[in-house]
Amino acid sequence: MDSHCFRFESLWRLPAPPARVYAVLERAEDYPRWWPQVREVIPLGGHSTAARFRSLLPCDLVVTARGSRLDPGSGVLEARMAGDLVGWARWTLTPSGDGGTRARYEQEVVVQRPLMRRLALIARPVLRVNHAVMMRAGRRGLTAYLARDGEGV
């Protein structure tokens, strides 16, 4: 595997049915409302957005994401990414059996930003921890957002 390539997978259990979770996740422009590390999302039209995010490391990453598979019936949202990260990300939502949702997040990207490429060679575990912190905060934020009495959902 290329030392600049990263593959991530996270599993979230969420307290709302898949259709409701899908409705929230498909509105990327609202991510900054519930995901602290997503600093800004700008709609570009045609299922495309520009997003800026930062976790523990003191640098922002900027990507353009274009929806490549948006299938509410099967609970799949997938996007192709370009910019500081090139690759794809996918949410797959399934019922959890208790009225909630099992949300599987997968991402495969190649780091493009020069500083991050240098870090990837020597600090791969740090970059993985950085991503894990961001995902943990996202799960907590989305859980709280879904628990609100229908606010914005």
Q: Give pLDDT, residue 26.
A: 96
Q: What is the CA radius of gyration of the chain?
A: 15
Provide the whole-model pTM: 0.91
**Residue type for position 28:** A
Contacts of 66 (CB under 8 A, 6+ apart): 46, 47, 48, 79, 80, 81, 82
Task: Please name the residue ranges forming H helices in the chain.
Answer: 18-25, 31-34, 114-122, 124-147
For the 5-147 domain, the top CATH level (class) is alpha beta
Annotate 8-45 with DSSP letters as a single string. Answer: EEEEEEESS-HHHHHHHHT-GGGHHHH-TTEEEEEEEE
Q: Give pLDDT, residue 10.
A: 97
> For the chain, what is the mean pLDDT?
93
Q: Tokens in use for 135?
A: 């995902």
The string of pLDDT tens digits covering residues 90-138 is: 999 999 989 999 999 999 999 998 888 887 878 888 889 999 999 999 9
